[in-house]
Amino acid sequence: MTPDLMESGARARAAYDTRIAALTQGGGFGRPVADGEVVFTQGVALYLDAVTVSFDGFKALNALSLTIDVGELRCIIGPNGAGKTTMMDCITGKTRPDSGTISFGSNIDLLRLKEPQIAGIGIGRKFQKPTVYEPLTVWQNLELSLKADRGVAASLFHRLSGEQRDRLEELLVLIHLKDEAPRTAGLLSHGQKQWLEIGMLLAQDPKLLLLDEPVAGMTDEETERTAELFLTLEGRHSLVVVEHDMSFVAALTEGRKKVTVLHEGSVLAEGLLAEVQANEKVVEVYLGR
């Protein structure tokens, strides 16, 4: 390498370190993404390479490698214990891998950030169980997420700008809860709570959304509407959806998108749903049961 290149490499690294240091010190929970922090020049939103996680010697992830493009909607399927949730735990900083690389955009090394900072730079996660503030109204729940960097009390007394109100109205329509805005969240159906939680994530405008079994416990109609919602979000956000419900996965992939099959902590197969469904190894470990 020429001295010039070495110097520019060192400069880039120093700039990166400064940016990460700023994130590490200033990053409050749910802090919105500041322009220019994450760079998506290569069309890649999320990159995992050779990620391994062991629990007492058992490899929950075993050299897992995966790339999600900007705006892509990717479904991840696989048997119980395949490592799907563990993968999300690693991306969001809840679990530290033993080895491997996880990066966001082309410039953020997620393994150097803590959980709240990862949420703050635009990675939203939906757990299986909805976690909304039950005593508050639907509107208040959304309002809180929009202003998650203030405390709960401060947020409720802080007035929304006209633009923020418009944004919340828009979100309410998107998540099919417009008529429920003044209702107490605790009174919503299970499916509606799931939508509210998705709305709360969207209020923070994440670049990447991780959704772990989002339609578990939903009625067929709620499941269909959730598929519609995710298809609307595709392109504007990158989505990683883990699901066992194959008709839901089929609706999301629309016969043309790739799905990834995980098994024993690594990728067993990747391709169109019809292709992986016909794959003997996949049938044996998962679909044939």
Query: Rule CB under 5 A: is residue 85 a binding residue for Mg ion?
Result: yes
Give whichever of 108 and 239 is closer to Mg ion, judged by the CB atom. Answer: 239
Per-residue CA distances from 135 to 79, 89, 92, 193, 195 (Å): 36, 28, 28, 13, 17
82 binds, among Mg ion, ligand ATP, none (CB under 5 to 8 A by kind): ligand ATP
CB of 229 to ligand ATP, least distance (A): 22
Among 71, 77, 92, residue whose Cα is nearest residue 210: 92
CB of 85 to ligand ATP, least distance (A): 3
Query: Rule CB under 6 A: is residue 217 a binding residue for ligand ATP?
Result: no
Give whichever of 74 and 84 is closer to Mg ion, judged by the CB atom. Answer: 84
Give whichever of 70 and 216 is closer to ligand ATP, judged by the CB atom. Answer: 216
3-class DSSP state of 143: helix
Residue 88 structure tokens: 């999300």
Contact 208, 123 (CB under 8 A): yes
3-class DSSP state of 9: helix
What whole-number distance in Å separates Cα of residue 272 and Cα of residue 80?
21
Site string for ligand ATP, 52-91 (x = CB under 6 A): ---x----x-----------------x-xxxxxxx-----
Facing residues of 102 across strands?
48
CB of 82 to Mg ion, least distance (A): 8
CB of 87 to ligand ATP, least distance (A): 7
Instruction: Considering only the C-alpha atoms of the chain, give the largest distance between any 2 of them, rounded to a whole number of Å.
Output: 66
**Residues of the shown chain interacting with ligand ATP in the complex, contacts defined by CB under 6 A:** 55, 60, 78, 80-86
